[in-house]
Structure 1
């Protein structure tokens, strides 16, 4: 899957091909069709103090998601 990734404070977001996650116990996997990147998501990019609290890195930011259920842990 393709995802915008936050790799390190001060670096811009980068578009990467990453493996699709697999649901763990008591989890489901949602295939995201749309996601918002807001001021909070991109506002923390240059601030190492925030990035220390939001790790581990790399991470995929975003909120206000819309998608469909694609897998349930078995």
Structure 2
């Protein structure tokens, strides 16, 4: 094997090692992103449920306020 072939082979092997390292890093990052997505999705579902509960409470309080307002108006007459 000539010196040039040896240098080319070494360069190719280094490129392959670099590629494998980057691939491993990308795979790890992808797994982390999947975990983050799952957690965010779960948190969003919980927040959505809480927002729905609060909206129902607001609606209920609004109805109560309207009834009290009507009673107050009737009693002032």
Q: TM-score range with shorter-chain normalisation?
A: under 0.3
| TM-score normalised by structure 1 residue count | 0.15
TM-score normalised per structure 2: 0.14
Which structure is higher in strand share? Answer: 1
Please tell me whether Structure 1 or Structure 2 has the larger radius of gyration of its CA atoms. 2
- Structure ranking higher in helix proportion: 2
Kindly indicate whether structure 1 or structure 2 has the higher relative contact order, using CA contacts under 8 Å at least 6 residues apart.
Answer: 1
